[in-house]
Amino acid sequence: MDKLTLLSHINLFDELPKEDMDLIDQNSTMTPIKKGTQIMIPEQPLDVLFFLKKGQVRLYRMTPQGKQFTTDILVDGNVFGETESFMLTDKQTFAEAMTDCYVCTMDKGKFESFIRTTPDVSLKLIQILSYRLKETYDLSEKIALGDVRYRTLFLLLKMSEKNGTRNKEWQSINMKFTHEDIATMVGSSRETISLLMSKLKKEGLLKKMLFGYSIKADEIKKILME
């Protein structure tokens, strides 16, 4: 797989000229990563940024009781990791490949040298960080205030808005996830989520597709506003 070709699919670099793309190609390393691989572990900090070119990555933290709490699911074009200049994930965050992935890494020195000559990249990273903080705050608020049904509907809507496509009243969720993943994000159990997902299907708010799920986004928005 050609690294330079794949870089054009990273959202961060959509508007970069070819000369900047060439610089990234020269200063980064592309690595294929198998499903289930731990990419980032708090006990082994890496002073690098990761650019997810293809695949799906789960960010999560561990509670004091040893339970996993998923904070985000990243798809093609997302950025994570940290250097002294940019911290897009905190020091307690794990990153795990949910599918086979291709990840491009750039270490602190090369990255900081690159952004000195391309200030637009710095602005986009700040936008990504701001958006991620807002999403985390919104989800935390919903988890604190709503019941399991409310929290799950909110999460499904957010995931569909992240990279879904619209087909009449249905909006897809173009991600791979399990009921356990949903449970760890909304603070519930897998069994409860399995029952709830079945109920949402019967109510006509959710349907299983060949490559994921689709939801009736407008109806769910109305429910969340009640």
User: pTM for the full model?
Assistant: 0.73
**For range 166-187, the mean pLDDT:** 88
Per-residue pLDDT tens for 152-161?
998 899 888 8
Least trusted range by pLDDT, from 19-23, 51-55, 160-164: 19-23
Per-residue pLDDT tens for 110-142?
888 877 877 777 777 777 767 666 766 666 666
Q: Where are the domains of the chain?
A: 3-142, 147-225
pLDDT tops 50 at residue 73: yes
What fold, for 147-225? Arc Repressor Mutant, subunit A (1.10.10)
Distance CA 184, CA 187 (A): 5
**For range 38-58, the mean pLDDT:** 87
**For range 174-187, the mean pLDDT:** 86
**For range 76-80, the mean pLDDT:** 81
* Torsion sign over Cα 8, 96, 56, 170: negative
Under 8 Å between Cβ of 71 and 102? no
Residue 142, pLDDT score: 62
**For range 187-208, the mean pLDDT:** 95
Displacement of CA 81 from its chain's centroid (Å): 12
Residues 6 or more apart whose CB falls under 8 angstroms from that of 185 comprise: 69, 70, 71, 139, 155
Taking only Cα atoms into account, the Rg of the chain, rounded to an integer number of angstroms, comes to: 18
pLDDT tops 90 at residue 11: no
CATH superfamily placement of domain 3-142: Jelly Rolls (2.60.120.10)
Distance CA 87, CA 175 (A): 25
